[in-house]
Structure 1
Amino acid sequence: MGGWNAKLTGALAALAIAASPPVFAGLAALAPAPAAATSLFGQSRYAALLMDASTGEVLYARQPDAERFPASITKVMTLYLVFERLAAGQLRLEDRVTMSARAAAQRPSKLGLKAGETLSVDEAIRALATKSANDVAVALAEHVGGSEANFARLMTHRAHALGMTRSRFVNPSGLPDARQVTTARDIATLSLAVIRDFPQYYGYFQQQQFVFQGRVMPNHNHLLRTMPGVDGIKTGFTNAAGFTLAASAVRDGRRLLAVVLGSPTRPGRDSNVEALLASGFRVLAARQAGERVQVADLLAEPADLNDALLSTLVEQGSADPAPRR
């Protein structure tokens, strides 16, 4: 694999950065660590976007407007509506949310409360942000919107108002439904809207674990624990969607947001997002130093990254457990 590793390193530099001639000598320093966006190029469902949150500049994009299933990233939209009502005083963190029979019957991941049991709005938010509990998502939607179907209509309406023109929601959880679609660009738009509009609530996505009735549930966003600067926001997985992740990180006062949809494995998703963020921060640092560096908006597949390497990378991660999250 030594030869392929060398080819991969070269491909990463070509993938991540398009530079003017004076900067070519510095490409090696700017290239991300191994396992970047190229490791997923062969996957038909793969879509990604990297954005500078302060300027809105798209630093990298791969099929950013292709329709994809959002899986549990859907819950970011659910929580956006909840945050709106909290900020408007129409909802309180101490309000009690009752688990309906419909909510209790949702498929995992779930908190497992029985019909008629309750939890606070604060606990419900934490359960969505960390455990990604589908039963709680439905109960919270019913509490806010009167019914799951009505809440889903509110989700779609609000999404379009935010500029998420290619998104449609039919449930608050992200459980499989062919009608529920989004794009990497729309998820980036939503994630930035949460950070911008509700900084007082964004911290929910930073919590490393949620403790409920004596149970400790770690956040599914592993980058919170493994990559310095990452402070949110949400993972997802279904068989139809693959592994999805929107993650935001801050370094030296600059915030980047990366979205990856359609990864075949969790490690592939996580390493891809990490590499995109690392590439973006290296480019920002180079620009700050006065170098003329530009990251390509849309990039073709590097010619020297072949199917054999892609198959190897996918195979190495295929044994990873795939809980629904």
Structure 2
Amino acid sequence: MKRIAAVVTLILVLAAAPKIVSYAFDSRQSAEPAGATAALRGLDASSAFLLDVSDGKVLYEHNSHSALPPASMTKMMTEYLLLEDIQSGELDWEDEVEFSAYAAAVPGAGMDGQEGERWSVRDLFAAMAIHSANDAAVALAEHVSGSESKFVKKMNETAAQLKLKDTKFYNATGLGRRDIAEISPDRPKGDNKMSARDAGVLASHLIRKYPEILKITSQLEASLKGGKVVLPTTNEMLPGGRFGFKGNDGLKTGYTSEAGYCFTGTVNQHGRRLIAVVMGASTPEARFEETEKLFSYGFTE
């Protein structure tokens, strides 16, 4: 009788225990249900991916394992590693970071940081996450690892740990090799590659492990140096933006001539969170318009 009572007690304990979600991210099966064919016909994207974060279910994917240039969606991994260091105490939001000559010379979107200038980690992170500032990303990478190449090594190690199977990083920004070959002291040997599926999985890990990222990426502008410098968001799907979508609070845009227009977006409606990835859209508007189609389809499922 004691043994039976023990078994019954164990069953009751297991039934009351919190449910642990198992994410089957390694599946290579294409998720293109019949209903998606009409809803998403003619999607303007080289690849796409739609994930329900609550249970890890893939709702839609198209060409999602192709390793393509991710442009500034690369910065999701840069953000992940920085938040990891902040959580461990190795880095503090108020630490000061000095711009190197290389960081100051990095092209593309930026905060116009000058060599020798000192900025807080908080301001640099906001500039990177909200405005996609390349100079801020390089300055942070150099600060925490000593060089961008050493930081990139951590990026690839973490990609392997997270089982991102179609991903390879060569820099912390997502810029093309030809954009930085003449100025980078590390002379990167290749261009970053990531699949739409890997981008979605990385985004899921980022917001589940470090949900505070959404308090940053949900802002319409980055206010730096006490409001002396203001940089607008690149995410036009935020409520109040040109393509505002209810519940959108992130996550990362990207563009290079090789990558086309890219976006990893996330939306929370009525306690259900989706992540959508669009890569290789033809225009800056299309990346948001196609993401809206994915979200709208996802919330009907």
Task: Say whether the fold is shared (TM-score over 0.5).
Answer: yes
Distance 1:131 1:267 in 2: 17
**Cα shift readout 1:157-190 (whole Å, capped 9, x = no counterpart):** 1011111121111111110134310100110111
Tell me the SS of whatever aligns to 2:215: helix
In the alignment, what sits opposite 1:187?
Answer: 199
> Contact 2:32/2:61 (CA < 8 Å) preserved in 1?
no
Identity, % of aligned pairs?
37
Tell me the SS of whatever aligns to 1:282: coil
In the alignment, what sits opposite 1:279?
Answer: 297
**Cα shift readout 1:261-293 (whole Å, capped 9, x = no counterpart):** 01111111110001100110011xxxxxxxxxx
2:135 maps to a residue whose letter is D
In the alignment, what sits opposite 2:102?
Answer: 102
- Give the alignment of 1:128-167 within 5 angstroms: 128-167=128-167
**Cα shift readout 1:236-259 (whole Å, capped 9, x = no counterpart):** 000000000000001111111100
Distance 1:89 1:202 in 2: 20
TM-score (normalizing by structure 1): 0.74
Unaligned runs of 5+ in 1: 1-14, 20-26, 284-325
1:18 aligns with one of 34, 47, 66:
34
Distance 1:245 1:201 in 2: 16
Count of residue correspondences: 253
In the alignment, what sits opposite 1:244?
Answer: 262
Tell me the SS of whatever aligns to 2:68: coil
1:38 maps to a residue whose letter is G
2:276 maps to a residue whose letter is A
1:17 offset after TM fit, Å? 5.3
Tell me the SS of whatever aligns to 2:238: helix
Unaligned runs of 5+ in 2: 1-30, 178-189
In the alignment, what sits opposite 1:233?
Answer: 251
TM-score (normalizing by structure 2): 0.80
Distance 1:277 1:265 in 2: 19
Tell me the SS of whatever aligns to 1:72: helix
Tell me the SS of whatever aligns to 2:160: helix
Runs of 4+ deviating beyond 4 Å? none
Change (3 A) 1:156 1:37: farther
Change (3 A) 1:245 1:37: farther
Aligned-residue CA RMSD in angstroms? 1.9
Point out which structure has higher relative CO (alpha carbons under 8 A, 6+ apart): 1
1:217 offset after TM fit, Å? 1.6
Distance 1:233 1:188 in 2: 10
1:215 offset after TM fit, Å? 3.3
1:37 offset after TM fit, Å? 5.6
In the alignment, what sits opposite 1:210?
Answer: 222
1:39 offset after TM fit, Å? 3.6
> Contact 1:16/1:279 (CA < 8 Å) preserved in 2?
no
2:251 maps to a residue whose letter is I
2:231 maps to a residue whose letter is M
1:263 aligns with one of 281, 289, 295:
281
Change (3 A) 1:186 1:67: same
1:262 maps to a residue whose letter is G
In the alignment, what sits opposite 2:16?
Answer: none
Distance 2:172 2:84 in 1: 15
1:126 maps to a residue whose letter is A
Distance 1:68 1:197 in 2: 25
In the alignment, what sits opposite 2:42?
Answer: 38
1:198 aligns with 2:210: yes
> Contact 1:68/1:181 (CA < 8 Å) preserved in 2?
yes
Distance 2:104 2:41 in 1: 38
Change (3 A) 1:265 1:37: farther
